[in-house]
Amino acid sequence: MPSPVILNIYDLTTQVNSWTYWCGVGVFHAGVEVYGIEYAYGGELLQQSHHPCLMSASERSINSWCATAGAGHDYDVSGIFATRPREAPGAAYRECIHMGETTLSASQVQHLVQQMGHHYKGNKYHLLQLNCNHFASDMCMQLTGKPAPSWINRLAGLAVLFHCFLPGSWVPPLQTPTAAPVVEPTLPVPRGKRRAVPRTNSKQRLLDGNPGSDEDSATTRV
């Protein structure tokens, strides 16, 4: 039987959001409620009976470890945490949005959360580029085919866009992906053909540490 999927939205700062909410921006936390459990990302470990990497999906229940919304932890394991619906620690509940329904069973949802934990690790949390709202939108998409409304993460998007104009004390450094080196393809040369080799003068060979004669052949047979 399908289960409703609800996006619960919280204020991380009620004073600021009371003014900016009506402009479509704010400092928000979001969690996804399904089968009576709310899942969110970015938990800072406060206390736990077991290390997260030693716990199965079923053991990582509501009471197995505590967390604080809007932070991260230093472990290279899942940073996703579960709470009772509308009780995210460290945040003030604002509203909920019904995102649709999922045909996944409760155990399948737990398996999905466990798989998403490979990407949403605690030490990969980034306030602007990989935060709780990115996770909530991703999970809503996985469960219902619809992302979360863009306004819950609009402030982070604007901060990325205008990052160079903001004081360094306000925002963390951006994470830039590392590109793989480009390898030029080499075409095979048919046997019996000659491949041109540029002639190098003696001065250049001495600079390269490869002394030789200026009378070296300009071509070589492959």
Are 116 and 139 in contact by the 8 Å Cβ rule? The answer is: yes
Q: Which of 73, 132, 134, 140 is catalytic?
A: 132
Angle among Cα 7, 103, 87 to the nearest 5 degrees reads 25
Cβ-in-10-Å burial (0-12, 13-18, 19+) of 42 comes to buried
182 forms bridges with which residues in the sheet? none
Let me know if 29 is a catalytic residue: yes
Helix, strand, or coil here: 126? strand
Catalytic residue among 29, 73, 134, 140: 29
Helix residue ranges, H only, 58-153: 106-116, 132-144
Query: Is 23 considered catalytic here?
Result: no
Tokens of residue 216, six digits: 């070296």
101 neighbors 144 (Cβ within 8 angstroms): yes
Which positions are annotated as active-site residues? 29, 132
